[in-house]
Amino acid sequence: MAMLRTATYLLFLNGFLLLAYGKNAPVYLAFSVLSFILAFGVMKEVKFAIKVALVYSGVNFFFALLFLMAGNLSSSIDAAISLLIVHDILGYIQKKYGEEVKLSA
C-alpha cells in the first residue's frame, strides 16, 4: 500500500477535478468514475488496475500537453498530475520487478 500512495491520492484528486470541470457533462462524470475505480484498484495493488491506470495517465498526459500547446493553461495542472501518476507507477514497477532493462549495443 505504501508504495503507490501518491498515485492513489492523485487519481482521487483527478476524479474530483473531473467532477468539478463538468457538472452537466456525462463524459466528465464517466471519466471521474473511472478515476475513482482506478484509484481504488491501485490502492489494493490489483495488477490490471495498475496497468490501466498507467495507460490512462499516459494518454491523459499526452492530451493535456496538446491542450497546453493550444493555449489552455489550466491543462498544465492535469499534465502535472498525470506525469506524477506515471512516475509513481513506473517507480513501483521498477522496485517490484527488478532493475531497469539495460539495452546492450
**97, pLDDT greater than 90:** no
DSSP string, 28-93: HHHHHHHHHHHHHHHHTT-HHHHHHHHHHHHHHHHHHHHHHHTT-TTHHHHHHHHHHHHHHHHHHH
pLDDT digits (tens, 9 = 90+) for 40-93: 999 999 999 999 999 999 999 999 999 999 998 988 999 999 999 999 999 998
- Which candidate, 74, 56, 64, 53, places its Cα nearest to that of 8? 53
The predicted model scores a pTM of: 0.87
Q: What is the pLDDT of residues 9-24, one digit of tens each?
A: 999 999 999 898 878 8
Residue with cell 527488478: 98
